[in-house]
Each structure stands twice: as structure tokens, then as C-alpha cells.
Amino acid sequence: MAPETNPDEVGMAGRRMSRRKALRYLGGGAVGVAVLGMGGVWTLERSARLGSREAEKVKKARIVVAGGSIGGLTVAARFLRAVPDAEIVVIEPKEEHHYQPGYTLVAAGVYEETDVVFAQAPLFLPGMRWIKDSVARFEPERNRLVTSGGTLVEYDFLVVGLGVEMDLGSVEGLAEALETGYAGNSYMLPYGRKFRDLAASLPSGGRALFTYPKGYVKCGGAPQKICWLSEDKWRSEGRRQDMEVHFLTPQSSVFPVVPVIDEIVKPMMEARGIQHHFHHELKAIDVSTRTAIFLEESENGTTREHRMKYDLIHPMGRFRTPAALRQSALTADGIGGQLEVNRETLQHKRFPNVFGVGDCCATGAPKTAATIRKQAPAVVGNLIDAILDRPLGHLYDGTSGCPLLTRHGRCMMFEFDFQGQLVNEWLYQSTKETRLWWEFKVHGLKRLYREVMLNGYV
Ligand SMILES: Cc1cc2nc3c(=O)[nH]c(=O)nc-3n(C[C@H](O)[C@H](O)[C@H](O)COP(=O)(O)OP(=O)(O)OC[C@H]3O[C@@H](n4cnc5c(N)ncnc54)[C@H](O)[C@@H]3O)c2cc1C
């Protein structure tokens, strides 16, 4: 937090508001969280009422969750709310829990690192048994897995929530570039902090590049959010006019996944003088000459090299699932090492006692915590159905959400479905940049994540 100069002001690194105003927003966040929590309790009550014989059967099942981040822990917590006194094993190597949706705000200078990191242990509710280790090998044919420490873990049912990671080897020179004084990245906390500092000192007349990777992307909005927020900051500091800001993506537009939003943000990018380059994939970075090398694909499929010098780059590599998953029988050809699940039931297509949640799943849904909030009830409901030998009766409808931070103090909030159609537009006023959703993103969503999701009230 920035040092407090006036006791009547509270600050989020560089942004100040009156204490009364802050309390009002925090109060609004608390009310929102309370309402969502109550909604979660209500749906839990309705969806997971079990008779005592059923509950006994469910309690006897040996359930293992691989990965204890927001996906794995939300499923485990919701399961324990539905079946108190049960036990569920969670395998997770990290002692720190990272609130990744806050990473963009760290890189943009709104949050401090301490706002997004908290201890893992208190997140484990009674009934969760934590194996502090990582999965080294899945053996789904034998209903078991082996950890890096050599522990053999057998299960009746497995939930996989291993997430995805950026593959720094996917772009030549990327790892090297991140160690120089000209590159940072909001996806990895230390590089996010570094980006914030480099952006603050970028000289006027400098050229900044923001890139977007090919393939599936964790939070597909984040690479442009940091572009929007940086551009806005440079503008508000009066440094923007001599600067060049470029957004380069292999996609065909700025936000093609949701056409209605794309129709707004593409002209907005043009109006703000951010030069967009479509069909551009970052292939390499030459750190010695500070040059980013892109492969530009034309409409007829031919490619050409496009080289651009930079003074600051926010480079993105491709994403992949952790080795234990992508090298296992749980994935399949053509799905990039992701978990092969039915996109609605989240049940594995070949191993019916295996379910998935979150980023590691091949559902085609956006890889966001907002997706997990909608998936977790389906996973838990179907897990219980499977244990009780019932047909699976819970479907994830493909809905996800995005708080698109378009400038400091403004956010477009929208939910959309598998087809890229907006959902609940009346509630979000999705096509507008509003102060309200900015405040909710900065003050409310972390509470929703921490208090509602991680406590299983989804
Ligand atoms: C910069 C950025 C901005 C984002 N913004 C938003 C946003 O605004 N809104 C939103 O909803 N989402 C956002 N997200 C996305 C959101 O953070 C992810 O979708 C979410 O964290 C995915 O949760 P997960 O549990 O599936 O995977 P992760 O959170 O990635 O967790 C995977 C877990 O598995 C563990 N693991 C890995 N390998 C193994 C192994 N072999 N054995 C055991 N455990 C293992 C890891 O330690 C980790 O704890 C953002 C993400 C980033 C990086």
C-alpha cells in the first residue's frame, strides 16, 4: 500500500479515495458477496440434499482432488458443504495461494503483491486432507496416482484441477527477455511487479508492444487489459502523445470470442491510438537488438516475418498443462494436453470416475475463475451422482465472465456463453465502461473469490 498522507484517505497504490467512499464501496462488495453467498447456500440446499443412506455411501468414497487452487479447492469445499463429515484428499505442492485474477492490478500499479498472495493452510476446511506434494504420474487405469515424493494414492473418484502454465520455451528468447530491463509480464508475479516499474519509467517517445499467444489462453482478456491500463496511465501522466503502443495478436480481431464486445473494443483501440496488428504470432525475441519477431499470416495462408523494435514489451508465450497431465492417459491427441472431459458434465470421456475443473479442462470455455464458479456446482453434483450410480444430472452451461479493465476507474463487465453470446446483459450493462464494475473488480471480486468460492458457496 502507498504510505497514507491523510488519515481520511485510503489508498490502493497510487489511487486515493475518501474513507467514506471506500467504506461505501467495500460495503457494496460485502453486500454483493453476502447475496452471492446466500444464493450459493440456497442452491446447495436444493441441489445436494441427500438421504442418510446416500450420504453414508458418498462418505465412504475415496475422493482425491489433484491441484489445490481455486478450481480444486472450490470443488472440495462445495463437496464438503453438501456432505459434511466426509473426507476429501487434496494434493497441492504450494504453501502460498495466489489470487491470479489480481495479477493484472499488480502489473498496473493498483494492487501490491501482498494483495494477491495468501497462506494456503487456512483455505483447507475441516474434512480436507492436504497432501503437500505434486502429482508426478496419473495411472487412471488402476485408479491411482503417484506423487513426486513417491507416495502412491489410490482413489475411487478423482477431480483434476491442475491449471495451465505459460510455456516460456514456446517463444525463442522469451525467458531471456524477461530478465532484461525492457520486458515484464503480468502473468508471473515478479515480472508483473517489474512491468509496473518499467512502465512507470518508460521514456516519452518509447515504443511499447503487447502480444497475445496462439492456442488456449489463461484469461484471454488479460493481455489486453494490461495494454489498456498502461496506455491510460501514460495518457493521464501526459506522456502518451509521443509514445507508440501496439497490440499484436494471432487472432482476427481484438476480442473475437465475443463479437458484440469486439465491435466496441476494436474501434476503442483505434480511437485511443493503440495500433492493432492481427494474424501476428510472436515467434522470437532478439534481446541484443531489442527486436520482437512476429510471423504474420495472410488470408491465403502464406506467412512473412515482421520485426519490431521495442523499448518495453509485454510478451506472451503459449500455454500448456503441467507435465503430469499432458503426458498422461487423461489427455488425448489434438487437445493440447488438456483433460479430455465432456464440456457440460465435466466427466472424463474415457475414465468415468474422473472429473475435471478449471483451466486444465478441454471444454473450450474461457480459462477463468469466473468459469470455475459456474463449473464447480456441476462437478460436485455429478460427482455425487456418479458415486450413487445415478445418471449425471448437472450441466455446466458454458457461461463465463470477464471484467475488462479498459482504463483506470473503468471496467466493462460481461458474461457470455459457449457461442460467445452475452448473458445477463441487463444486469451488467455489458457494453458500457462503468466506474461501478471497476470498484467491484478492485474491491469486491477478491472477496467473492476468497469468501464465497473458496468456502464452497457457489
Ligand atoms: C494475469 C491474469 C489475470 C486473470 N484475470 C482474471 C479475471 O479477471 N477474472 C477471472 O475470472 N479469472 C482471471 N484469471 C484466470 C484465473 O486466475 C484462472 O482461471 C484460475 O486461477 C484457474 O484456476 P485453476 O484452479 O484451474 O488453476 P490454477 O489457479 O492455475 O491452479 C492450478 C493448481 O494446480 C497445482 N499444480 C500444478 N501442477 C500440479 C501437480 N503436478 N500436482 C499437484 N498440483 C499441481 C498448482 O500448484 C496450482 O495451485 C487471470 C489469470 C491471470 C494469470
Each residue's pLDDT tens digit, 17-32:
444 444 444 444 444 5
Q: Which atom of ligand 1 is nearest to the CA of 66?
A: 43
Residue pair 441/271 in contact (Cβ under 8 Å)? The answer is no
Ligand 1: residue of 159, 162, 371 to mutate (most ligand atoms within 8 A of CB) is: 162
How many A from CA of 68 to the centre of ligand 1? 10
pLDDT exceeding 70 applies to what percent of the chain? 89
What is d(CA 336, CA 75) in angstroms, rounded to the nearest whole number?
24
pLDDT above 90 (res 49)? no
pLDDT band at 36 (very low <50, low <70, confident <90, very high): low
Ligand 1: residue of 96, 359, 411, 445 to mutate (most ligand atoms within 8 A of CB) is: 359
What is d(CA 107, CA 424) in angstroms, rounded to the nearest whole number?
30
What is d(CA 409, CA 17) in angstroms, rounded to the nearest whole number?
11
Give the chain's mean pLDDT: 91
450, amino acid identity: R
How many A from CA of 325 to the centre of ligand 1? 15
Q: What is the mean pLDDT of residues 112-121?
A: 96
**Annotated catalytic sites, by residue?**
219, 402
How many A from CA of 275 to the centre of ligand 1? 30
Ligand 1: residue of 368, 406, 416 to mutate (most ligand atoms within 8 A of CB) is: 368
Is the CB of 100 inside a 6 Å radius of any atom of ligand 1?
yes
What pLDDT is stored for residue 17 in this prediction? 41
Q: Atom 45 (ligand 1): residue with closest C-alpha?
A: 67
What pLDDT is stored for residue 9 in this prediction? 31
Each residue's pLDDT tens digit, 254-276:
999 999 999 999 999 999 999 99
Residue 195 phi, psi (nearest 5): -60, -45
Is the CB of 224 inside a 6 Å radius of any atom of ligand 1?
no
Each residue's pLDDT tens digit, 364-383:
999 999 999 999 999 999 99
Is the CB of 358 inside a 6 Å radius of any atom of ligand 1?
yes
Give the global pTM.
Answer: 0.91
How many A from CA of 163 to the centre of ligand 1? 5
Is the CB of 184 inside a 6 Å radius of any atom of ligand 1?
no
pLDDT above 70 (res 8)? no
Q: What is the mean pLDDT of residues 278-285?
A: 98
Each residue's pLDDT tens digit, 199-245:
999 988 999 999 999 999 999 999 999 999 999 999 999 999 989 99
Q: What is the mean pLDDT of residues 290-305?
A: 95
Q: Atom 44 (ligand 1): residue with closest C-alpha?
A: 67
Q: Atom 25 (ligand 1): residue with closest C-alpha?
A: 71
Q: How would you class 361 by CB atoms within 10 Å of its CB: exposed for 0-12, middle for 13-18, buried for 19 or more? A: buried
Each residue's pLDDT tens digit, 56-108:
999 999 999 999 999 999 999 999 999 999 999 999 999 999 999 999 999 99
Is the CB of 91 inside a 6 Å radius of any atom of ligand 1?
yes
pLDDT band at 299 (very low <50, low <70, confident <90, very high): confident
Is the CB of 282 inside a 6 Å radius of any atom of ligand 1?
no
Is the CB of 94 inside a 6 Å radius of any atom of ligand 1?
yes
Q: Atom 43 (ligand 1): residue with closest C-alpha?
A: 134
pLDDT above 90 (res 6)? no
How many A from CA of 99 to the centre of ligand 1? 8
Each residue's pLDDT tens digit, 318-369:
999 999 999 999 999 999 999 999 999 999 999 999 999 999 999 999 999 9
pLDDT band at 399 (very low <50, low <70, confident <90, very high): very high
Q: What is the mean pLDDT of residues 275-304?
A: 97
Q: What is the mean pLDDT of residues 135-161?
A: 98
Q: Which range, of 14-18, 338-342, 433-437, averages the lowest pLDDT?
A: 14-18
Burial 275-297 (b: 16+ CB within 10 A, else e): ebbbbbbbbbbebeebebbbbbe
Q: Atom 1 (ligand 1): residue with closest C-alpha?
A: 187
Q: Which atom of ligand 1 is nearest to the CA of 226?
A: 1
Is the CB of 70 inside a 6 Å radius of any atom of ligand 1?
yes
Q: What is the mean pLDDT of residues 381-407?
A: 97
Q: Which atom of ligand 1 is nearest to the CA of 91?
A: 43
CB neighbour list of residue 260: distance below 8 Å, 6 or more residues apart: 421, 422, 430, 431
pLDDT band at 117 (very low <50, low <70, confident <90, very high): very high
What is d(CA 71, CA 67) in angstroms, rounded to the nearest whole number?
8
Each residue's pLDDT tens digit, 439-449:
999 999 999 99
How many A from CA of 440 to the centre of ligand 1? 21
What is d(CA 102, CA 161) in angstroms, rounded to the nearest whole number?
20
Is the CB of 367 inside a 6 Å radius of any atom of ligand 1?
yes
What is d(CA 281, CA 291) in angstroms, rounded to the nearest whole number?
14
